[in-house]
Structure 1
Amino acid sequence: MTQQANLFEEAVADAAETAVGNDGNNNGNGGNDGRGGDDFGGDGGDGGETLTLSTFAERAYLDYAISVVKGRALPDVSDGQKPVQRRILYTMNELGLGPTAKPRKSAAVVGDVLGKLHPHGDQSVYDALVRMAQDFSLRYPLIDGQGNFGSRDGDGAAAMRYTEARLTPISRLLLDEIDQGTVDFAPNYDGSSEEPTLLPARLPMVLLNGASGIAVGLATEIPSHNLSEVAQAAVAMIRNPKISHTELMGMIPGPDFPGGGQIITPAAQIHDMYATGRGSMKVRARWKIEELARGQWQAVVHELPPGTSAQKVLEEIEELTNPKVKLGKKALTPEQLASKQLILGALDTIRDESGRAAPVRLVFEPKSKNQDKDEFMMLLLAHTSLETSASINLVMIGADGRPRQKGLSEILSEWIGFRFETVTRRSQFRLKKVEDRIHIMEGRETVLLNIDEVIAIIRNSDEPKAALIERFNLSPIQAEDILEIRLRQLARLEAIKIQQELAELRKERQTLLDLLENPSSMKRLVIREIEGDAKTFGDARRTLIEEAQKATAEQKVIDEPVTVIISEKGWVRARTGIGHDKSQFTFKVGDSLHDAFECRTVDTLLGFGDNGKVYSVPVSALPNARGDGVPITTLVDLSGGARIKHYFAGQPDTQLMLSSTAGFGFIAKAADMVSRQKGGKSFMTLDEGDLPLPPSVIGKEASAVAALSSNGRLLVFGLSEMKVLANGGRGVIMMELEPKEQLISAQAITQKGVVVHGTMAAKPRALEMSGNLLAPHFGKRARKGKELVQRIKPSSLAPM
């Protein structure tokens, strides 16, 4: 940005600060609109201010800039809305178009907004309404649109006369407290009615849905974020106002786009962007590989970066494969020819299979089934908008009314200040209502204690109101209320109700007073409400944040030692090097170590699901161990409620013995189980109720198999009796089991023997078995084995 642009931006911000109370609809000329003849350089005409042409133009343009900045283009940090969005939501709320109401024609809503609040064109209002209803534009849509509201491919919405709209449930976070004295109201453009200057947002909507806009000298590009993460960060800052930026980024790792995708920018760079409020990150599509008949396969893109559509990708591929001669050129450029050759050499077919069942499904078929799948996708990412840049420019109207670029900490801090203000005003508003009601009810209570005398005064007095005030020391309001109530409301039963209501009102008054006088109580209430809203409206993160290199036509993984760390709750990460002290590994609160594997970056992490599938994740794709990692569910597709029970990471030629609780097992290489498909590879045949057991690594010296049952029976047989099944399956019977008995552990062992882990007298025990102690348990495969001599309750086996 040039120095001149910086100076202009500062001028706009300074002028905006002085215009906080201005509705942006004035001419901005200080009473002199420049139409009085030669006022620019003359004697001032009718006594107006004398201005040079340059001064007049500067003032007029600055006023116009302020009008655009504050009245159109930038959202407010308090409620995250631009003026037109705020007016639409407020109008729909006033029309009673809540989440359960019958939708109303969009044209009627737009007309009401224009007639009462918005001094601009109808199309701009309808465009804003449409965007707030698009689930691919807003992470949390505020309007429920009925009819054609456009598509991801850029198709426009139907005309406003054909569509209907109502508010979504999450819009209540902006509107539920609007009539509780929480925000100020200002006259509309012609002074005929009032509109809220802000909406009482219960969560930081400026982060949840983001915003995009271009003002004069200023622009904003705020990405959307995950509601649960933002709420967690807000609560953390309320509890600790001095919380560090690093701690906040641990809760809000980055944007969460409506269409998902994967952010590949390093975490350190993302942290810097959120500290300064400006930057650019790389976002790529997410895909899966679908295996077809005869070894064929296809790549299916199911999530796209923001601003990218299936139609756009199709057009880019068409441009690459059928390039046109550029203007002023006689032939295709070498770059065009090279790209054409590269794409045509790899890509056979592209199809858009998107529909209701799959909003995004872009299918790419390779020329050859032997083509490397990763290289194929890297080629597409490098040459299309399947990988693109997403800008961050956190410019918004601050709590002080100034448009400025802000960091994450400042945004949350200002919103928290606004939230405390709205809760305080809401409490004061309610306290006033309660005190007014108490005042009325105390008057009624006085009357009920002197009912006969009151009736006599009303019957006999010419001025009963004045007489009641004088006799019972009532206020005019109380006296008026007594004169208006019906006689039957003065019965004995009503007296009990009045006393009960008074007791409840006084209790509520005390609660409100304590809340307003005790900052700790106010803090607890705000936190409780934020956590409640997060529980109601929170959802899972859609955008995967996983560092990766920018896509090129060829991408190689550096071969180096690494330790894969897996937590009990399924968070995975990789730590450079081996030989680490496992006791030094850290995890989230309530989580702990499940397993750790020493391997290499070129290896694959295998996850064994309870559905018989084996899920594969390249070790090189795992996040580094600086943080807590990522949930395994963001790296693989666990559909149908499947869960990963066990893991393995190591060299592809490692032989593994796989077994199940049903007593079946077989041998296969780790490479046999690897699949590029995120939905996993069906490898173990499991009946209903059966589960996979931890895989056993078959070492070079292994010669036997030890199998342990839930009834405490142990069988040892020759390793040669096991079958090798490269394509997986059920395997062979390892051990004969009684009804309701299960195989609980199976290990490939050497001549040294086996260790039986379990408990005895509720204490952990490890029983080493070798030589004569182990000999009675030798037998043939598929036999029952013999019970352990010692009364140990077994749980697992381990080779010695």
Structure 2
Amino acid sequence: MNQANLFDEPKLDEPAGKQDVAPEVDAESGAAAAAAMAEAVAGAEAEAADEIAPFGGGDGGGDGGDGGDGGDDGDDGDGGDGGETLVLSTFAERAYLDYAISVVKGRALPDVCDGQKPVQRRILYSMNELGLGHTAKPRKSATVVGDVLGKLHPHGDQSVYDALVRMAQDFSLRYPLIDGQGNFGSRDGDGAAAMRYTEARLTPISRLLLDEIDLGTVDFQPNYDGSYEEPSLLPARLPMVLLNGASGIAVGLATEIPSHNLTEVAQAAVAMIRNPKISHDELMALVPGPDFPGGGQIITPAAQIRDMYANGRGSMKVRARWKIEELARGQWQAVVTELPPGTSSQKVLEEIEELTNPKVKMGKKALSADQLALKQLILGSLDTIRDESGRAAPVRLVFEPKSKNQDQTEFMLMLLAHTSLESSASINLVMIGSDGRPRQKGIGDIIGEWIGFRFETVTRRSQFKLKKVEDRIHILEGRETILLNIDEVIHIIRNSDEPKAALMERFNLSAIQAEDILEIRLRQLARLEAIKIQQELADLRKEKQTLMDLLENPSSMKRLIIKEIEADAKTYGDARRTLIEEAQKAVAEQKVVDEPVTVIVSEKGWIRARTGIGHDKTQFTFKVGDALHDAFECRTVDTLLGFGDNGKVYSVPVAALPNARGDGVPITTLLDLSGGVRIKHYFAGPASTQLLLSSSAGFGFIAKAGDMVSRLKGGKAFITLDEGDLPLPPSVVGQDASAVAALSEKGRLLVFGLSEMKTLTNGGRGVTLMELDAKETLLSAAAISQKGVIVHGTMAAKPRELEMSGNVLAPHFGKRARKGKELVQRIKASTLAPK
């Protein structure tokens, strides 16, 4: 079992402030990693009974293990009779897998049932046991941390305190579970005071997790040394994993679950209970997206958000919210009142400072043209920035423009584009499922698994209450019997050597009833007490019937759970904070005259732009030994894309390219091509242009040119490539395109419908275009229309073009991922182009 390659370096403890964001990969690979990890968990647990004795040295330790001779450090064991000799690589692999399982299940991932990581669950349970409810007097955080460490969580005290602090931060959790007294940090990154200074107690909403803990709703398990018992889960009355979300990095897995609105999640849970076959779109109508603690505005289209919640992975754009305040004499100022997750006022101030006072980059002698242009843009637009945040306004960031005549919308778009006032929020819904395995889940699976858990806890709660009621009825029936025969009972007790046995025999009582009667007080024998017993019995028998009906009738159970969810939503629900309203991503650019231009790229990577279109390409001049690679007729407002051999896409605004009076500039001066990256192909055109992107491994997908644009010179990871794979030339998907043509290294051509392709806005590997033989590669792929395709190649060492359409092309039509058919003419094909 080779699982070592699944894992990366873990992050065990979750900090109190901003969380690390999981690196973005395509949804398919993310789900595959989660599935692989789940299988690893299952396999490792199945083998948990097999102890590993490294190198035959017994179990080691101070006593030398079971088979060794001992020693202070356990290094002297000689193999013993019961030892198991293992190859070092085998032991390391198994030991690392054990470690990985411990991190995944015991540290980093929340559980779908109660939404808590183990350390959070232990903190809440410990505080509940200490009597620190929302009405109690707060106690020192050090007391809570010490109790958690000593009884339940034998790890670092700072990691426990960090988790406690985060659970008390209203800017980290949508619904804080701990009420902190003292300095618990700030959204600007200020740390909390030491645990000896701060105090804590539970918040009212924590009752959703703890109120039913003593009603037999969940299993308890021994703690780390068997001296204490702790709950394996908390009986959550709402899907807490969605309400507060989670963030963490395990081994080979990461999770990034955003927070959501309680009222909306409760409505979705009720809707799914009533209709287990509810569609994904119906669920998303109730829960349209995250509801972040700091508010903000989600500008990602609703359709993309729906896809993210179906797959359990994605990335959305969130921007700050602001208002314009009118001042005297026509002046105005923009005031930011809500920030995206992970952004603080201090961070924005630092970004503005970096833009207005840029530093020379390492290895450079002066500021770059981009740095100077951006500095000029900011200084020419922004006059003053002030942070007026305080108790009255948690976020109040004031921006004053240079001139009152500036366009307010353009002013804010500039700030959004160049600071974290607009940023990305990742979604990676990985958690421990109800089966105990880590999985990436869609929102329907999450709510469905919680509903199953809730039905189980309510069933166990009802069974627990029924047992209590039956026990009480049994006691009261015994008392009722003796009150009807009180004189005889007293006579038996006074005159019998074994009154318990005598009472049991005379009145047909159980041992429990007889013991209760013997311990009853004389004042409880009054007539008034008999009336109370009869009334209590009547009430208990009615309650018993209700509980039995609840356990026997699924519809009654369903109605009760819905009623409880709606009651909790009414008690703890609130209005949505985050606005979901689609908008275009902010791209602030200096005013560019929209005019036609020709972008010229040489074989050696020299780039320039020439005004106008329709130029004679044979008249383009280059340096000695260089030649034309490609030329694109586009407009100055478009973007030049470069496709690197590492799968990244690099972008440069066409307006930023030098004019064609000289030879241009090397592409390396415009982009950061570190690590020996080479640009294999180029494209220049409108952001709305759809491109067919493919790789030599035979995979491909469709994306818009605008999806690949990045402000970073280091490019944007977009095409997933394995070692040895290369990107193929992009093909424009025209409005008349209806099919895709794929050409293999061995001269096989396959044509299939364009509808079989997949669109990936965030990039990825794509779908299989063509089945390839071992070590065979894909040469070219192009989107074509009904006019057909042109095959470029050579014949007898001379360039040839083969035009194919109609009946000539028909034999090559088939389904995607098939092998296709060899070309009839003996042409050594190299590339395809639409006819």
TM bucket (normalised to shorter chain) is 0.5 to 0.7
Specify the alignment match of 2:290 in structure 1.
Answer: 255
1:123 aligns with 2:158: yes
Match of 2:109 among 56, 63, 74: 74
**Distance of aligned partners of 1:220 and 1:359 in 2 relative to their CA distance in 1, 3 Å threshold:** same
Verify the 8 A CA contact 2:34 2:440 in the aligned structure 1: no
1:537 aligns with 2:572: yes
Match of 1:492 among 505, 512, 527: 527
CA RMSD of aligned residues (A): 2.2
2: CA distance, partners of 1:105 / 1:34? 47
**Distance of aligned partners of 1:308 and 1:551 in 2 relative to their CA distance in 1, 3 Å threshold:** same
2: CA distance, partners of 1:510 / 1:19? 46
Match of 1:32 among 53, 68, 84: 53
One-letter code aligned to 2:428: N
**Distance of aligned partners of 1:311 and 1:342 in 2 relative to their CA distance in 1, 3 Å threshold:** same
Specify the alignment match of 2:42 in structure 1.
Answer: 17
1:423 aligns with 2:458: yes
SS in 2 for 1:152: coil
TM-score by length of 2: 0.64
**Distance of aligned partners of 1:53 and 1:547 in 2 relative to their CA distance in 1, 3 Å threshold:** same
Verify the 8 A CA contact 2:54 2:91 in the aligned structure 1: no
**Distance of aligned partners of 1:313 and 1:411 in 2 relative to their CA distance in 1, 3 Å threshold:** same
2: CA distance, partners of 1:317 / 1:494? 79
2: CA distance, partners of 1:29 / 1:88? 32
Displacement of 1:43 in angstroms is 11
Displacement of 1:10 in angstroms is 4.4
Pairs within 5 Å for 1:168-183: 168-183=203-218
Specify the alignment match of 2:182 in structure 1.
Answer: 147
Match of 1:211 among 246, 252, 258: 246
1: CA distance, partners of 2:473 / 2:411? 75
One-letter code aligned to 1:268: A
Match of 2:341 among 303, 306, 310: 306
Match of 2:423 among 376, 388, 407: 388
Pairs within 5 Å for 1:567-582: none
Displacement of 1:289 in angstroms is 0.3
Match of 1:297 among 302, 323, 332: 332
Any unmatched runs of 5+ in structure 1?
A: 557-800
Verify the 8 A CA contact 2:221 2:230 in the aligned structure 1: yes
1: CA distance, partners of 2:333 / 2:80? 78
2: CA distance, partners of 1:6 / 1:45? 45
Verify the 8 A CA contact 1:17 1:400 in the aligned structure 2: no
SS in 2 for 1:179: coil
Match of 2:272 among 227, 237, 242: 237
Verify the 8 A CA contact 2:245 2:258 in the aligned structure 1: yes
Displacement of 1:46 in angstroms is 2.5
One-letter code aligned to 1:17: A
**Distance of aligned partners of 1:5 and 1:282 in 2 relative to their CA distance in 1, 3 Å threshold:** closer
Verify the 8 A CA contact 1:78 1:204 in the aligned structure 2: yes
SS in 2 for 1:220: strand
Match of 1:469 among 504, 517, 537: 504
Specify the alignment match of 1:509 in structure 2.
Answer: 544
SS in 2 for 1:298: strand
Specify the alignment match of 1:186 in structure 2.
Answer: 221
Kindly provide the CA deviation profile for residues 405-450 of structure 1, in whole angstroms up to 9, marking residues without a partner as x: 0000000000000000000000000000000000000000110111
**Distance of aligned partners of 1:6 and 1:288 in 2 relative to their CA distance in 1, 3 Å threshold:** closer
Specify the alignment match of 1:400 in structure 2.
Answer: 435
Verify the 8 A CA contact 1:264 1:546 in the aligned structure 2: yes
**Distance of aligned partners of 1:82 and 1:152 in 2 relative to their CA distance in 1, 3 Å threshold:** same
1: CA distance, partners of 2:169 / 2:46? 33
SS in 1 for 2:436: coil
Kindly provide the CA deviation profile for residues 163-213 of structure 1, in whole angstroms up to 9, marking residues without a partner as x: 000000000000000000000000000100000000000000000000000
2: CA distance, partners of 1:439 / 1:125? 46
1: CA distance, partners of 2:549 / 2:30? 51
Specify the alignment match of 2:17 in structure 1.
Answer: none
**Distance of aligned partners of 1:385 and 1:7 in 2 relative to their CA distance in 1, 3 Å threshold:** closer
Verify the 8 A CA contact 1:222 1:393 in the aligned structure 2: yes
Moved more, 129-138 or 46-55: 46-55
Verify the 8 A CA contact 1:299 1:364 in the aligned structure 2: yes
Verify the 8 A CA contact 2:296 2:577 in the aligned structure 1: yes
Pairs within 5 Å for 1:214-229: 214-229=249-264
SS in 2 for 1:440: helix
Displacement of 1:17 in angstroms is 3.2
Kindly provide the CA deviation profile for residues 290-327 of structure 1, in whole angstroms up to 9, marking residues without a partner as x: 00000000000000000000000000000000000111
TM-score by length of 1: 0.67
Specify the alignment match of 1:333 in structure 2.
Answer: 368
2: CA distance, partners of 1:451 / 1:307? 74
Displacement of 1:492 in angstroms is 1.0
Verify the 8 A CA contact 1:203 1:231 in the aligned structure 2: yes
Displacement of 1:6 in angstroms is 8.1
Displacement of 1:4 in angstroms is 10
Displacement of 1:14 in angstroms is 2.1
1: CA distance, partners of 2:149 / 2:374? 51
SS in 2 for 1:528: helix
One-letter code aligned to 1:474: L
1: CA distance, partners of 2:167 / 2:382? 38
Displacement of 1:152 in angstroms is 0.6
Displacement of 1:12 in angstroms is 3.2
SS in 1 for 2:179: strand
Displacement of 1:256 in angstroms is 0.2
One-letter code aligned to 1:284: R
Pairs within 5 Å for 1:714-733: none
Verify the 8 A CA contact 2:54 2:86 in the aligned structure 1: no
**Distance of aligned partners of 1:173 and 1:249 in 2 relative to their CA distance in 1, 3 Å threshold:** same
Kindly provide the CA deviation profile for residues 551-594 of structure 1, in whole angstroms up to 9, marking residues without a partner as x: 011599xxxxxxxxxxxxxxxxxxxxxxxxxxxxxxxxxxxxxx
2: CA distance, partners of 1:130 / 1:335? 41
1:51 aligns with 2:86: yes
One-letter code aligned to 2:286: M
Give identity over the alignment, percent.
Answer: 86
1: CA distance, partners of 2:197 / 2:181? 9
One-letter code aligned to 1:499: Q
Specify the alignment match of 2:384 in structure 1.
Answer: 349
One-letter code aligned to 2:39: D
One-letter code aligned to 1:412: I
SS in 2 for 1:199: coil
1: CA distance, partners of 2:502 / 2:89? 73
Verify the 8 A CA contact 1:132 1:143 in the aligned structure 2: yes
2: CA distance, partners of 1:384 / 1:6? 32
SS in 2 for 1:110: helix
1: CA distance, partners of 2:36 / 2:361? 43
Match of 1:281 among 304, 316, 339: 316
Verify the 8 A CA contact 1:12 1:65 in the aligned structure 2: no
2: CA distance, partners of 1:33 / 1:125? 32
User: How many residue pairs align between the two structures?
Assistant: 551
One-letter code aligned to 1:483: L
Verify the 8 A CA contact 2:221 2:229 in the aligned structure 1: yes
1: CA distance, partners of 2:534 / 2:421? 69
**Distance of aligned partners of 1:334 and 1:361 in 2 relative to their CA distance in 1, 3 Å threshold:** same
SS in 1 for 2:425: strand
Verify the 8 A CA contact 2:57 2:78 in the aligned structure 1: no
SS in 2 for 1:350: strand
SS in 2 for 1:166: strand
SS in 1 for 2:358: coil
SS in 1 for 2:559: helix
Verify the 8 A CA contact 1:349 1:364 in the aligned structure 2: yes
Verify the 8 A CA contact 1:285 1:302 in the aligned structure 2: yes
